[in-house]
Structure 1
Amino acid sequence: MADASDMPADIPRAYRIPFSSPPPRLPSPDRFQEPYVDTPSPSHQENNITPGHLLAPTQSFASNDASPAGKKTYYQSRTYASIQKPNFQERRRQVRLSMSGKSVIVEYEDFMKRFVPAPPGQEEPTNKLKAMDFSKVPTKPEVNMYEPLMTALNHDWLLPEDVAISNANTPDPSAKTKNVVDAGLYRRADKDKVGKKTKWAYMELSIECKTEDVQHDPFNESKKSGNHEDASDIRKQILGQIMCYAGYVFDNQQRMHHFMLIIFADMARIICWDRAGLTATQAFNYVTDPLKLGRFIWRFARMTPAQRGHDPTAVRVPRDSVNGKLMLERAQPPKSLSVADDASTGTGKKQAKKRPKSATPKPVIPGDYPRAEFEKSLEGDAIWWRLRVDDSKQGSRYFLVGKPHFVAPGLAGRGTHTFIAIDEADPYGPFVYLKDAWRVAHTGIDQEGKILERLNSDDDGGPVPYVPSVRFHGDVEDQVTRSQEVWLEQNKGKTRDQCPLKTHRHYRLVVNEVGRPLALFKNMKELIGLVTLCLKAHGEAYNRKKLIHRDISAGNVLIYPELVCDANGVVTERPRPLLADWELAKRVDDPKEAPRQPDRTGTWQFMSASALSQPSKRIIVQDDVESFFHLVLYHAIRFIPHNCLNVGSFMEMYFDGHIEEHGVYYGGKDKLKSMENGELTTPRGFPLCFYVGEEASEDLPDPSVATPSPSITQTSDAASNSPSSSSVTNAEDAPRTHEHVIHPVTKLLEDCLLRLKAHYTLYVTQKSTDSSSHKQSHVKKATDVDSAVTSLRKKRKPTVKQPKVLSPAERAELEILAAKLADHSEMIDLFAEHYEEGDWPDDDRCPDQLPKDYKPNYNTLLATGGSKRAAGSAFETSAHQAKRSRVSGI
């Protein structure tokens, strides 16, 4: 039985120099471990490296990259894997659905008592507030509402330290989104910084104006508490719009909650947003009853920063301060280093001229990635922060950060922000990675830092390799969301488990490693090697530490640089895997069988097909192993040549596929069909096949007319002609000419599918069909455009597929294959064997094949007879789909 340490030597094993970040804990002994080079950790003077030497190539991603979870980019969060450029309407729909069922409407007095307390020692000027005149604010057109409203609010007695500014015409220049809110309250001290622009980083109270008192009211009070979304399209759009505006404030500030005022004609509502949901007042007429609006503004102007929602443990760092100058100093690139051409990797200038379309990542200086990313975080008008992390064992520590390295999509949920950070106690030490999130504070859910401490500990056989190492972690004071408490008070008799709003507690975690996205892999062989070692980490965590990850995704498998020094003192960088984000991990020896949360756990695009079909399913080893399969396929379909001419459609159907029934989202049929049949197909129905040296294009032969080629690799498994056989490609079904060489990843995916098909045949399809034979099957319902339309137009229930009756011999054979899927050693052997024996090209990456302008085909359903409502339910995504599009804990 092979071990991950039996991988070839070009998948390096040991971290020799703790150069930029301390390495993950590695296994010992290591077959390929070279003698340790006893070199001192470098100081902040990082210019001692021999110039002109390259690390393993890396690549810069455009801001519109479509990785659903792994892309660490600011502002460009998304939930669809198939969309690279989600427009503002799609973003609003996504964030609205992530907040579905998480709104609470309360009476004005209850809202004020809970969220807007009267300032101690001051008496409200009730007569002045009653005399406020809002009658000069017109209701139409909208653009004429802004300035009169600002005039009515801008009085020194009302706003002694704030100013109301209309900034509906100029977007925030520091934000990639061009969305603008109509107006806002800002501190007078920030007035010059704001001008007439929307400045999310300085906004204290956001104000939005609409012209219709019913049609433009985002909430429907007649609906039961927790589900106040109206069915009309315009009201849905407005709700998504204001949710996005609140999200921009959370993205750009360190917030516990945020207040918003929405005006619609002569009516108004006040809203308080937090990571659990929102609480809004009942609608009131602010023209005939000015006391309510005036009273809110008067109290708000006298609230402390913490009462307004600012996090007191986060302090802004001025650029000219001592810490600001330190951050600028640490962001400077090493002056003595230069990057030389390397013709052998195809990344040099001469080579670039020959291959202008090469997708080989650009080289960078060894160990410089954290520094370069930190430098980016300080660019433009980004706010710099000094964040406090409270560790129960080590006390408090402060970290210096710029703008986030990653911002999770959506408003309700964990709201994860990550940063490249400087430890103030070690200002010239290595950069570290800081994660700021609102963890789900439910019984049985551990802090991620405690999970990592268990993985890092010397107990139970020693540290697990290839996982982050904890530096500091802890809850942020007593910062807990409050919307869920309001919901419980409004819904007497309901238990906390019945509340759709989760309790979230603010939490910070600092780890030593700064990893790069997996999508920066050099070639497919490197990616397979990294995934193999992550399988090893997963197996050791499961078998020794009794933990299962439950969220294998593109964002959670990272590349961590190994820095090595040869005999001549030349430092180079080699890739190592880092299996990160253990916040959803669960003890497998936990006697509690009940789910800890009402939602699924994981990232939608990479979850197993059976978990997507069964929301309450307990995640087991087979589900996580299947997620590793989807992870390889995701990167192959985007960056390796193949015969799929419409990558966007494939991504939409396979990774984003879903249906909605009675408010519950289920996985699409394409992923499930692939697992059940043991094959991958293109949107046109041809077997999917990956090639060497060819990009997907119309120039490739049509599988339906081309002649068979002896170079096509057929299934060589002994079980290829048995009921367990599966394939990614087949010489008879998808023949190619001798000029097209099959890529070795094709055979790896094929062998994985053999095991997946056996598992589904025995334990998923049979069980699912038996339990739903008397009713409509959610698993089998079509979700692609054409099938959905056919079902809608014919208005008939889909038939239930009856499983094949297996003979004892067939069942025994399938049980052997299915058992391999649950055995980490078997799966490591499988990946290692393909890694060692496959004829892997050195330069097999091609440019990203997912079109930058691809959009899911919403219009097809409408054009072929579907209703608007059907189109929305068929293609809208939700919080059940998003990680960072993560589905659990939102």
Structure 2
Amino acid sequence: MAPAEPNTQVGIPGVPQGNVTPPRSVEPDSESKTKTTPLQPRLNKYSLKPSIPSPEKRIDVANHTQGYYYGPMPVQEFFDTFMPYKDLSFKRNRPSETQREKLISVATMESESAMYTAFVDALKGWPPPDDGRRKVELEFHDVHSYQDPNCGELAVDVAVVDTSIKHLWANGKKVSFSEHETHTEFKLSNSFDPFVEKETNRQIEDSTQDSADDNTNILSTRDWGDFEFENSTNDGISCRGQLAYYAAAAMTVQYRTHFFQLLMFNAYARIIRWDRSCAIVSQRFDYAEEPDLIFDFYRRLAQLDRGERGYDPEITYATEGEAELARAAFRSFHPDGWHGRFEFPKKLHNRDIRSQAFRTLTTGDSQFVICAPVFYPDCYTPFGRSTQRSLAYRLGKETICFMKHFHSQNYSTTLKESTVYLRLDDKRKTDKNFPRGFCRMITGGDVPGTVSIGHLFWNASWVCGCVREPRQLIVHRIFLEEVGRSIRTFTNAKTMLTCVADAMEAHSYLLHVLGILHRDISPGNILMERYPEVPGGKVRRGMLIDFDHALDLNRTGRSQSPGRSGTFQFFSAALLLDPRVVQSGIDDRESCFHSIVYLSMLHLQHGLSNNPTKLHAQLMSLFEDALGTHKEGALTQNLYQRFDWANQGLQKTLTVLADVIKWRYVEIAEESPELAVILKKLRDENMKLLEDRHWMHNTIREHLKTMPDPPEEIEFVVNSHHPLVTTPASKRSSDTLNTSNRLGLDGHLPADISSSNKRQKTK
């Protein structure tokens, strides 16, 4: 695809239109007058080393974001494309000589802390109030010593904020990530440049050798040379991971479509535009030679409206009156429930309702008050769907509902989650046998003006080397009437099995009546009703949610595999063992079985409950490592039947389910024809059961009838030695197993985007 046409407006005098100014030399090379010597890095002992993110975390983040950095984009093209002046006739004041000199002095500072002070002093009051079309008044704050308690104790160097929200700042100085308009990170040495350009590649490698004495042995064994634009030195990788983590944090705690970030290293700088598909990186420029570029960046930022600065166009700050209504309504909910993250019995950051921030969302004729998003340590990549959930107070209706906000793939073939709910609502009106395991949608759909832009630029002429094809994403939002809680918070085995049966009945209806395959059956996608059905009862109903990976089988092309999707830990053994297996309803039913086993092993009493070492090893083997041979062996060797579950109803249920599912993997020896005939007959009979629409939920319910009422005491136990599966790195499938959701309705890639997800630019 061709890149977007850049804005052709006249740039600022003195700003380079093509390649950036080459690095300044410190002294002439003794052998040749035409060569230059790289700036000598200052000693790292002056650098302020952040404790978070750790070197290992930065390497991990850099690893997960490889290939999604597109650059170097010419600086003027970056400005004209993403931050254009809308009116060239208005007065644009130039910075004073004093301001310019102060900014230039940043490059001469001997410590990072001195760089922060000089930078803030230089930009104070910029842009001035009489500077034309300024939309926001910016303030620059040195916040390197303020570790944001609501953002994983992260601390960026300089935060740039809108003065109109001063009342949100802690003590007027401690600006949190949730209030960042943009932020700036500083490094002393040019070796920390996360990216390389052909004319500077050798220089960066040379200077790194002098400065990496205390930064050695942090590289993984991964080949960092696949993507030429990404600096593969220790310092470069570390800095790139740090920048990505900070950008992810800012975009996670705000409802953002994109975010601007400035990096200053030695006398050089780069500007980065992050969105959920990629990061567009400017050419590096010498701000000591051209300080006006920095001033122009902030002037352009200040004259953009909220949407252009990266905010969700439908969401604004809630008034105090709106916030009070939400606080009164949400007060009866567990704090984790405000954000749809029930992790019994832990509370989220120990926050109370008074400290919870709120936003107002307007969509169509409806207005909702929702929670400001919160940070989770697993949100460490700025790319991807970034699902955010919140309770929602509906203004005018005085009711509480639930919001799900995420970035959906934006292709004509993608089956949207709101579309699934609309089809279900049509069936609910006419079908008397409509199952109870579905929520009702109030409103939902794509949010206009929130499409990611990576697909417009990944083939641009200035993109260096090999990059990955970006996914085209758009904000998708739905509001549901039901406010449930995670099945992970069940208190007794009967409730857990009841919720699973309800969810699988809903799954079967979705598959066999509407022709939609869910493709992500896991504990995270089964909700539990907030209160028991019967007043005073202990058993709750379950609801199947999250249809954003669902596939419309009625439109699946037979010539191509529909691919795979789901949560890696709960994939069927068949999908893990053979990449040629086409994901089907049988795999979803096996995923349901693995979900029951996982919840039971982790939260119910059994033979390994008092042996944490063996339990941890089993959980790692069956779910974290998730090798197909482990799951297959557990089924064929009757492992689950021998687990000695304390709840006998659960014991019988798992035994019956495992006895049927294992026949997918029983090998039939041909040496004994008589035995082979018997085994084939048994396999056929059990496979028919596994394929039957009603088998799984009816089997569970038959055993539920024999189970007594739940005991008075809570059966739920916490195995603190084994954490819940939460990290995206472990939840994601590998590239060979995870399919892009853009397969959507047809089950295969549209013709215009079916090319490889990685390409080498040719000159």
Alignment TM-score > 0.5, same fold:
yes
Using the TM superposition, give the Cα deviation of residue 168 of structure 1 relative to its aligned residue in structure 2, in angstroms: 0.6
* Distance in 2 of aligned mates of 1:878 and 1:887: 16
Structure-to-structure mapping, 1:713-862, within 5 angstroms: 726-728=638-640, 730=642, 743-761=648-666, 807-837=676-706, 842=711, 843=713, 845-851=715-721
Q: Which residue of 1 aligns with 2:118?
A: 148
Q: Which has the higher helix share?
A: 2
What letter is aligned with 1:588?
A: L
Please give the alpha-carbon distance, in whole angstroms, between the structure 2 residues aligned to 1:808 and 1:153: 83
Match of 1:190 in 2: 165
Q: TM-score, normalised by structure 1?
A: 0.64
What does 1:569-718 correspond to in 2, within 5 Å? 574-593=539-558, 600-612=564-576, 618-641=582-605, 642-643=607-608, 644-646=611-613, 647-657=615-625, 668-669=626-627, 672-679=628-635
Mapped partners of 1:879, 1:574: distance in 2: 29
* Map of 1:478 onto structure 2: 449
Q: Which residue of 1 aligns with 2:177?
A: 200
Query: How big is the shift at 1:558?
Result: 0.8
Paired letter, 2:144: A
Q: Distance in 1 between matches of 2:348 and 2:620?
A: 34
Q: 8 Å contact 1:603–1:887 — kept in the other structure?
A: no
Corresponding position of 1:298: 299
Match of 2:201 in 1: none
Q: Can you list the C-alpha shifts for 1:432-461, whole angstroms capped at 9, x where unaligned?
A: 011122211123212211101212223784
Q: How far apart, in 2, do the equivalents of 1:375 and 1:224 lie? A: 40
Structure 2 residue ranges without an equivalent (≥5) = 1-51, 132-136, 199-223, 743-763
Change (3 A) 1:130 1:821: farther
Query: Does the C-alpha gap of structure 1 residues 461 and 318 become closer, same or farther in structure 2, counting only changes over 3 Å?
Result: closer
Q: Give distance in 2, aligned partners of 1:563 and 1:836.
A: 17
User: 2:148 is aligned with what amino acid?
Assistant: D
The answer on whether the counterparts of 2:447 and 2:477 sit within 8 Å (CA) in structure 1 is yes
CA distance in 1, matches of 2:575, 2:109: 50
Distance 1:837-1:573 versus aligned 2 partners, 3 A rule: closer
Deviates more, 1:299-308 or 1:483-492: 483-492
Q: 1:525 to 1:652 in 2, by over 3 A?
A: same
User: Which whole-Å deviations, capped at 9, do the CAs of 1:756-804 have from their partners, x for residues lacking one?
Assistant: 3321347xx99xxxxxxxxxxxxxxxxxxxxxxxxxxxxxxxxxxx999
Quote the Cα distance in structure 2 between the aligned partners of 1:149 and 1:650.
54
Partner of 2:326: 327
Instruction: Name stretches of at least 5 consecutive residues in structure 1 with no aligned partner.
Output: 1-85, 335-360, 391-395, 658-667, 680-723, 767-801, 857-874
Give, in angstroms, the shift of residue 234 of structure 1: 4.2
Find out whether 1:218 has 2:198 as its counterpart: no
- Does the 8 Å CA contact 2:67/2:468 hold for their aligned counterparts? no
Pick aligned residue for 1:518 from 487, 498, 501:
487
Mapping of residues 11-22 of structure 1, within 5 Å: none
8 Å CA contact retained: 1:277, 1:412: yes
Letter of the 2:638 partner, please give it. S
528-537 or 642-651, which deviates more? 642-651
C-alpha separation between the residues in 1 aligned to 2:665 and 2:153? 46
2:68 to 102, 111, 129: 102
Is 1:444 matched up with 2:413?
yes
Supply the AA of the counterpart residue of 1:181.
V
Q: 1:813 to 1:331 in 2, by over 3 A?
A: closer
Normalised to the residue count of structure 2, the TM-score between the two structures is 0.73
| Aligned residues of 2:404 and 2:478 also touching (Cα < 8 A) | yes
Contact 1:388 1:397 in 2 (8 A): yes
Match of 2:100 in 1: 132
After superposition, give the CA deviation of every residue in 1:676-712 in whole Å (9 maximum; x if it has no partner).
2244xxxxxxxxxxxxxxxxxxxxxxxxxxxxxxxxx
User: Matched residue of 1:533: which SS?
Assistant: helix
Closer, same or farther: CA 553–539 of 1 in aligned 2, 3 Å: same
State the match for 1:403 in structure 2.
372
Distance in 2 (CA, whole Å) between partners of 1:445 and 1:825 is: 28
Whole-Å Cα distance in 2 between the matches of residues 206 and 803 of structure 1?
71
Match of 1:420, SS state, is strand
Aligned to 2:287: 286
Deviations along 1:349-378, one digit per CA (max 9) or x if unpaired, are xxxxxxxxxxxx99x9xxxx9xx9999997
Q: Deviation at 1:531?
A: 0.9
Number of the residue aligned with 2:239: 238
3-state secondary structure, aligned to 2:312: coil
SS in 1 for 2:549: coil
Higher RCO structure (Cα 8 Å, ≥6 apart): 1
Write the deviation string for residues 714-765 of structure 1: whole angstroms up to 9, x where unpaired.
xxxxxxxxxx6734355xxx9x9xxx96854344334333333321347xx9
Q: 2:252, 2:375 within 8 Å by CA — same for their partners in 1? A: no
- Give the SS at the match of 2:160: strand
Q: Distance in 1 between matches of 2:532 and 2:424?
A: 23
Shift of 1:514: 0.4
Could you tell me how far apart the structure 2 residues matched to 1:297 and 1:639 are?
Answer: 52
Deviations 1:399-437 (A, max 9, x none): 11123489783421222111111111302xx31011122
Contact kept, 8 Å, 2:151 with 2:374, in 1: the verdict is no
Q: Could you tell which deviates more after superposition, 619-628 or 823-832?
A: 823-832
Q: 1:554, 1:804 → 2: CA distance?
A: 42
Letter in 2 for 1:253: Q
Report the CA distance between 1:649 and its aligned residue.
3.8
Alpha-carbon distance between aligned partners in 1 of 2:512 and 2:245, rounded to the nearest angstrom:
43
CA contact (8 A) 1:92 1:241 kept: yes
Indicate the SS of the match to 2:470. coil
Q: 1:376 to 1:584 in 2, by over 3 A?
A: farther
Q: Percent identity?
A: 21
When residues 618 and 524 of structure 1 are mapped into structure 2, their CA distance, relative to the original with a 3 A threshold, is same
Q: Which residue in the other structure is 1:880 paired with?
A: 732
The letter for the 2-side match of 1:425 is: G
Letter in 1 for 2:720: L
Contact 1:606 1:630 in 2 (8 A): yes
Matched to 2:687, the amino acid is A
- How far did 1:275 drift? 1.3
Aligned to 2:758: none
Instruction: Tell me the SS of whatever aligns to 2:592.
Output: helix
Q: Equivalent residue of 1:753, what SS?
A: helix
State whether residues 604 and 887 of structure 1, in contact with CA within 8 Å, keep that contact through their aligned partners in structure 2.
no
